Amino acid sequence: MQEEQHKNFKRILVGVDDSEDAQLAFRYAIREARSSDATLIIASILEHEEMNVYEALNKDYVHGKRDELIDHISKYRDLALRAGVKEVEMIIDEGEAGETIVKNVIPASDADLLIIGSLSKTGIRKYFGSQAAYMAKYSPISVMVVRE
């Protein structure tokens, strides 16, 4: 049996929200980025299903939510830098998480590995990890699903 060599990933994308699974994925992504000397790309998606129709139509409300998300994801960036990751980028997009990451974020980030948690904090939890399953199935790059 031929021994496979470990692929060194150069651009690691991690999807974050405040779920425990996402926190585990984030910590794993930090370790992987440090050991591979890779760029860590932290992504978060502003999901419209979390807003009612009036909020979604109110540009000031959406802009405010986006600003909150930027502030929040900046804290993840600072943690990664303090943990020893040399290069950290951030991406924020809007839409349904799994589809947006696969169709928009991965191509825009030029990532070669996606690390995600198996569940998320908000509406996705009711789908029992269907977002993670969607990303694993349709992602054009390698996907690591981190579980508790």
Predicted pLDDT at 124: 42
| CA 7 centroid distance within chain | 21
**Mean pLDDT, residues 15-34 taken together:** 91
The structure tokens listed for 30 are 């930090």
Q: Is the pLDDT assigned to residue 137 strictly greater than 50?
A: yes
**Higher-confidence position of 121 and 75:** 75
**pLDDT for 68-111, tens place per residue?**
888 989 999 999 999 999 999 999 998 888 999 999 999 999 99
Band of residue 20 on the pLDDT scale cut at 50, 70, 90: confident
In the 3-class helix/strand/coil scheme, how is 60-121 assigned residue by residue? Answer: HHHHHHHHHHHHHHHHHHHHHHHCCCCCEEEEEEECCHHHHHHHHHHHHHCCCEEEEECCCC
Predicted pLDDT at 30: 98
On whether the pTM is more than 0.85, the answer is: no
Average pLDDT of the chain to the nearest whole number: 83
Contacts of 127 (CB under 8 A, 6+ apart): none
Predicted pLDDT at 126: 44
Q: Nearest CA to 111 among 14, 3, 5, 1?
A: 14
Q: Is the pLDDT assigned to residue 35 strictly greater than 50?
A: yes
**Higher-confidence position of 19 and 38:** 38
